Structure 1
Amino acid sequence: MFGKKKKEIDEDFVKTEITKIDDDDVKITMRNQEEISDKIVNSNMLKKYAELGKIMFGMLKDYRRGVYTKVPWFTIATIAFAMLYILNPLDIVPDFVPGIGYIDDLAVLTFGLRFIESDIHNYLDWKLEHGDTTDIV
């Protein structure tokens, strides 16, 4: 998934990497949900995205179960890419670098959210319509 490294993270980098995501990557994301969630919660830079992360994992779960299908593959791939990027400790800026280790994770998550914001709102509306408030802040 993280073949050739690029020196900076921008929207083009994120879009290009998202197109490489496949169903196996989504499965890996779901298998590592707890570890990814813990990493988000325990990082000062990413902590503010903890609740949004729960919603995104909820969308992946409902998509994989086949109960939420009104979502483009690009959105599913964006969530999987962002979460797998966060999981990877040796990404463009290694997570163990004090003070700046999570800057690239934050950038990837921010760009990804910008791409899929309306789909997240649609998902939350769908959850409310179906009386399912699980994973809703």
Structure 2
Amino acid sequence: MVKAGRAAATWRAYREVSRPGSPGLVARLRALPRMLRAGMRGDYPGLTKGKLAMLGMAVVYIVSPIDVVPDFLLGIGVVDDFGVFLWLMTALLGESGRYVDWETEGVHRTIPGRASRR
């Protein structure tokens, strides 16, 4: 069940990146540093402190030697790390696409349901 959810999320991310008119993979990757800086400053309303915390925790989990499933269990030990990695990449690619759109439309546009800080 969990594997199917990860596969579905990965497929949605692929479809979003390859959709005509959508920011491409290179544009999304180049936007990541700008998006993270804008999110940390509070300028980009799509990247809240909670989302930033989740992304940070995912990075820490991936590089941490402590795992839910120990890596020495060959065959399944890296599955949890890979699942977190897939979630992280899907989240970053999706949000960076929204960030590129937000940048293109103008910094003063707000995300529906959120007030702009400007």
Do the structures match in fold with TM over 0.5?
Answer: no
Larger Rg: 2
Q: TM-score, normalised by structure 2?
A: 0.43
